[in-house]
Amino acid sequence: MSRAPVRRAGDEPVRVSLTKGELYTWCACGRSSQQPFCDGGSHVGTGIDPLVFEAERDSEVLLYTCKETGTPPICDGSHCRGAPD
Protein backbone atom coordinates (compact mmCIF):
# COMPACT_ATOMS: atom_id res chain seq x y z
CA MET A 1 0.00 0.00 0.00
CA SER A 2 1.30 3.46 -0.81
CA ARG A 3 1.57 5.90 2.03
CA ALA A 4 -0.53 9.06 2.07
CA PRO A 5 1.19 12.34 2.91
CA VAL A 6 1.30 13.38 6.55
CA ARG A 7 -0.93 16.39 7.19
CA ARG A 8 0.05 19.34 9.30
CA ALA A 9 -2.60 19.30 12.04
CA GLY A 10 -1.71 22.57 13.72
CA ASP A 11 0.88 25.26 14.26
CA GLU A 12 1.29 24.89 17.99
CA PRO A 13 2.08 21.96 20.28
CA VAL A 14 -0.53 20.85 22.79
CA ARG A 15 0.32 20.60 26.49
CA VAL A 16 -0.99 17.35 27.95
CA SER A 17 -0.73 15.65 31.33
CA LEU A 18 0.61 12.10 31.21
CA THR A 19 0.25 9.46 33.90
CA LYS A 20 3.15 7.12 34.61
CA GLY A 21 2.56 3.67 33.14
CA GLU A 22 -0.38 4.70 30.94
CA LEU A 23 -0.30 4.00 27.20
CA TYR A 24 -1.05 6.87 24.82
CA THR A 25 -1.69 6.79 21.10
CA TRP A 26 -0.31 9.81 19.32
CA CYS A 27 -1.61 10.73 15.85
CA ALA A 28 1.16 10.40 13.25
CA CYS A 29 -0.99 11.05 10.19
CA GLY A 30 -2.33 14.50 11.10
CA ARG A 31 -5.95 13.57 10.37
CA SER A 32 -7.28 12.90 13.87
CA SER A 33 -10.15 14.98 15.18
CA GLN A 34 -8.67 14.57 18.67
CA GLN A 35 -5.19 16.06 18.22
CA PRO A 36 -2.60 15.34 19.35
CA PHE A 37 -3.97 11.85 19.94
CA CYS A 38 -5.23 9.31 17.39
CA ASP A 39 -9.01 9.18 17.08
CA GLY A 40 -8.84 5.51 16.19
CA GLY A 41 -10.05 5.72 12.62
CA SER A 42 -8.95 8.72 10.58
CA HIS A 43 -5.61 7.12 9.68
CA VAL A 44 -7.30 4.07 8.10
CA GLY A 45 -6.22 3.77 4.48
CA THR A 46 -3.28 6.18 4.81
CA GLY A 47 -0.62 3.53 5.44
CA ILE A 48 0.35 5.48 8.56
CA ASP A 49 0.00 4.01 12.02
CA PRO A 50 -0.31 5.94 15.28
CA LEU A 51 2.67 6.04 17.64
CA VAL A 52 1.90 4.20 20.86
CA PHE A 53 4.02 5.20 23.82
CA GLU A 54 4.05 4.63 27.57
CA ALA A 55 4.50 7.53 29.95
CA GLU A 56 7.66 6.99 31.97
CA ARG A 57 6.49 9.33 34.74
CA ASP A 58 3.66 11.64 35.72
CA SER A 59 4.40 14.75 33.71
CA GLU A 60 3.18 17.58 31.54
CA VAL A 61 4.64 17.55 28.04
CA LEU A 62 4.19 19.33 24.73
CA LEU A 63 3.01 16.97 22.02
CA TYR A 64 3.39 18.40 18.59
CA THR A 65 0.71 18.78 15.93
CA CYS A 66 2.78 20.19 13.06
CA LYS A 67 4.25 16.72 12.39
CA GLU A 68 7.70 18.23 11.75
CA THR A 69 9.49 17.21 14.93
CA GLY A 70 12.55 15.02 14.90
CA THR A 71 11.60 13.61 18.30
CA PRO A 72 8.02 12.32 17.98
CA PRO A 73 5.72 12.71 19.79
CA ILE A 74 7.55 15.37 21.81
CA CYS A 75 7.73 18.86 20.30
CA ASP A 76 11.28 19.92 19.45
CA GLY A 77 10.36 23.38 18.20
CA SER A 78 10.41 22.46 14.50
CA HIS A 79 7.10 24.27 13.98
CA CYS A 80 8.96 27.48 14.76
CA ARG A 81 11.55 26.96 12.05
CA GLY A 82 9.41 27.78 9.03
CA ALA A 83 7.97 24.36 8.32
CA PRO A 84 5.67 24.31 5.27
CA ASP A 85 1.91 24.61 5.64
Longest dimension (CA), the chain: 38
Q: Are 72 and 52 a contacting pair, CB within 8 Å?
A: no
Return the closest-CA partner of residue 65 out of 37, 42, 40: 37
Q: What is the per-residue binding string for ligand FES in 39-78, x denoting contact by CB under 6 A?
A: x--xx----x-x----------------------------
| 19/33 with CB nearer ligand FES | 33
Q: Which residues bind ligand FES (CB under 6 A)?
A: 27-29, 31-32, 38-39, 42-43, 48, 50
